[in-house]
Amino acid sequence: MHPFLLASANDAATAIAAHAADPDLAYIAGGTDLIGLMKDRAALPKRLLDINTLPDMARIEALPDGGLRIGALARMSDVAAHPDVRRRFPVIAEALLFAASGQLRNMASMGGNIMQRTRCAYFRDEDDLPCNKRRPGSGCSALHGLNRNHAIFGWSEACVATNPSDVAVALAALDATVAVRGLAGERTIPFTGFYRLPGETPERDNVLGRGDLIVSIEVPAGAEGRASHYLKIRDRQSYEFAVVSAAAAVAVDGRRIRSARLALGGVAHKPWRLTAAEVALRSASLGDIEALKSALATSFTDARPLAHNAFKVELAQRVALRALQAAGARA
Amino acid sequence: MNPAATVTRGTGENTVVGDDARVPIGLTVNGRVRTMTVEPRTTLLDALRDELGLTGTKKACDRGECGACTVHVDGRRLLSCMTLAAMQDGKQITTIEGLERDGNLHAIQAAFIEHDGFQCGFCTPGQIMSAVAMIEEAKADWPSAATTDVERPFTIAELSAAEIRERMSGNLCRCACYPNIVDAVAEAAARS
């Protein structure tokens, strides 16, 4: 790794001021993504600010109304093992448990998880191949390169990368929010608006700016939380990023869907909510497979596969269907 | 603004750490307090091997992908290649060298020998450190991706071969000794 300076933060205001003033400073928590990026020279911060020392940011709170507040420094393994997370929102526990390895889940923070950068092999390549996300203006090697693992929705000529987080898919489906503290105080960002599409500026993954510090993630109470499921399809059965994944949560009257929430992973620059399908699924019976398939198809009319990932259009619909059925089985 | 002038390292006085400065740190490694100075970029793995001469912890992928560098920090298994030594200042570290007691192997070490859980042996320290902590996680009711129903409490009696394989998937064995590793871990878990 390149040489850098390391300090640790004792209070959030000081950390935020330092981050706002210094474009070469990066926060570090678990480090499981950042240190890998630094070893691959895909991130070269001159100063690291260790935020693990910030107080009161690792709590996992079951809120009285049935919701959940997860501190940004809570570790993936602690969130996945928490009894209230497992009972209220099994999709969150499952998404976490299907990610990374036992060791990494013990290290990785929730804030860092939702900030992790794409696994696009060109972005992380040690030889520094053209990549607009890594070096703006250098081009996209994946657009006409090996793009089997890349996006089928929302990509631009500048970038076809996907977001690698599993739990972000579950949080997007559950309409979670991100509490962020910045120079101007604290604000709440809906999860569905947290990530950006690449457009002409793929170097920006999300809407955060200098000085912003993720404080917590809040999951609202909802009838759909308990009947939820995360399904992940990958090239290995364990310890691998998703080819395609789906988070589903449903509320039902008998076998009839009152409300469904669905998001896909591995298909876009952000967790991809199936908004049209969610509307089309209302009143459908969980037992009517053809009706479910037709409803899901309404969210795929704008799919734009690349040279090597046309299979994802069909696969994603099957994964969404199975996730929906498994969530329904919990209702 | 220089952030090092505005933030402190640990609870002590302000410490300005320059690019080439070495940071004084103290780690309790296998029960012994060890002080050293390291560059900020020194990983915990390199500090253990190069500063303390504890070469039982192996460096293989150096990217958090293989698990060979697994150690315990405050009782939890983690990857020493993916954390900075200076970030673990003040922590309790256990490495493979610290598992035996009074010349007696840890039950998992003995089970690996009994079940022939290794060939070349390079991944073995990481496998064993991972297994020791993994069994504690299972006892603490942690579910895994192999757990049928995450909503229910998990009990150690449910630690099947499929559960072991999933929970140990962060440790790769190039010799593919996996069946014997699973047997060794299963027996040690059943006895514990």
Helix (H) or strand (E) holding B107: helix B107-114
Instruction: Examine the pLDDT at B6 and tell me if it is beyond 80.
Output: no
A25 touches chain B (CB under 8 A): yes
A14 touches chain B (CB under 8 A): yes
C-alpha distance from A279 to closest chain B C-alpha (Å): 28
The CATH code of the domain that includes A259 is 3.30.390.50
What lies within 8 Å, CB to CB, of A173 at 6+ separation is: A91, A228, A247, A248, A249, A261, A262, A263, A271, A273
pLDDT for res B21: 76
Examine residue A29 and state whether it is found in any structural domain, yes or no.
yes
Cross-strand partners of A261: A249
Compute the distance between CA of residue A204 and CA of residue A195 in angstroms, rounded to an integer.
9
Contacts of A103 in chain B (CB under 8 A): 64, 67, 70, 77-79, 130, 170
A238 touches chain B (CB under 8 A): yes
C-alpha distance from A193 to closest chain B C-alpha (Å): 29
Examine residue A68 and state whether it is found in any structural domain, yes or no.
no
A17 touches chain B (CB under 8 A): yes
Class of domain B107-191: mainly alpha
Mean pLDDT of B115-125: 97
CATH of B22-98 among 3.40.50.300, 1.20.1260.10, 3.40.47.10, 3.10.20.30: 3.10.20.30
Contacts of B78 in chain A (CB under 8 A): 103-104, 106-107
Instruction: Examine the pLDDT at B111 and tell me if it is beyond 60.
Output: yes
Mean pLDDT of A306-329: 98
Q: Do residue A101 and residue B143 have CB atoms under 8 angstroms apart?
A: no
Mean pLDDT of A33-50: 96
For A165-201, give one letter per residue: b (16+ CB within 10 A) or e. Answer: bbbbbbbbbbbbbbbbbbeeeeeebebbebbbebeee
Instruction: Examine the pLDDT at A119 and tell me if it is beyond 60.
Output: yes
Q: Do residue A21 and residue B1 have CB atoms under 8 angstroms apart?
A: yes
Q: How confident is the model at residue B20 (pLDDT cuts 50, 70, 90)?
A: low
Give the chain A residue whose CA is nearest to the CA of B74.
Answer: A106
Compute the distance between CA of residue B149 and CA of residue A326 in angstroms, rounded to an integer.
12
CA triplet A46, A52, A55: central angle to 5 degrees?
Answer: 130
Q: Which of residues 44-83 of A touch B (CB under 8 A)?
A: 46-50, 52-53, 77, 80-81, 83
Please count the other Cβ atoms lying within 10 Å of the Cβ belonging to residue A205: 20
**How many structural domains are present in chain A?**
2
Name the token pair of A286. 């969980």
Q: Provide, rounded to the nearest whole percent, the portion of chain A with pLDDT above 70.
A: 100
Contacts of B79 in chain A (CB under 8 A): 32, 103-104, 107
Ordered strands of the B76-79 beta sheet = B32-38, B23-29, B92-94, B70-73, B76-79
Domain extent listing, chain B: 22-98, 107-191
Cross-strand partners of B72: B77, B94
A32 touches chain B (CB under 8 A): yes
Compute the distance between CA of residue A71 and CA of residue A116 in angstroms, rounded to an integer.
17
The CATH code of the domain that includes A41 is 3.30.43.10
Contacts of A106 in chain B (CB under 8 A): 76-78
CB A27 within 8 A of CB A54: no
Q: How confident is the model at residue B9 (pLDDT cuts 50, 70, 90)?
A: very low
Mean pLDDT of B123-146: 98
What pTM was estimated for this model as a whole?
0.95
Q: Do residue B17 and residue A86 have CB atoms under 8 angstroms apart?
A: no
Examine residue A22 and state whether it is found in any structural domain, yes or no.
yes
Mean pLDDT of B114-133: 97
* Among A1, A2, A4, A5, the residue to mutate for chain B (most B Cβ within 10 A): A5
Q: Do residue B41 and residue A83 have CB atoms under 8 angstroms apart?
A: no
pLDDT for res B12: 35
What angle, 0 to 180 degrees and rounded to 10, lies between the N-to-C axes of helices A311-329 and A289-297? 130
A43: containing domain = 5-53
Contacts of B169 in chain A (CB under 8 A): 101-102, 238-239
Instruction: Examine the pLDDT at A216 and tell me if it is beyond 50.
Output: yes
pLDDT for res A115: 98
Q: How confident is the model at residue A225 (pLDDT cuts 50, 70, 90)?
A: confident
| Dihedral angle of Cα A25, A27, A33, A39, to the nearest 10 degrees | 30
Contacts of B40 in chain A (CB under 8 A): 3-6, 48
Please count the other Cβ atoms lying within 10 Å of the Cβ belonging to residue B121: 13
The pLDDT mean for chain A works out to 97
Q: Do residue B143 and residue A86 have CB atoms under 8 angstroms apart?
A: yes
Name the residue among B77, B140, B151 with its Cβ closest to that of A86: B151
Give the chain B residue whose CA is nearest to the CA of A95.
Answer: B145
Render A235-266 in DSSP notation, one character per residue.
SSSSS---SEEEEEEEEEETTEEEEEEEEEES
Contacts of A96 in chain B (CB under 8 A): none
* Among B11, B23, B41, the residue to mutate for chain A (most A Cβ within 10 A): B41
Name the token pair of B155. 């009990």
Q: Is A154 left (phi over 0), alpha (psi -120 to 50) or beta?
A: left
Name the token pair of A34. 């950042």
Name the residue among A81, A98, A104 with its Cβ closest to that of B141: A81
Distances (CA, A) of A250 to A92, A331, B25, B152: 14, 7, 51, 20
Mean pLDDT of A137-163: 98
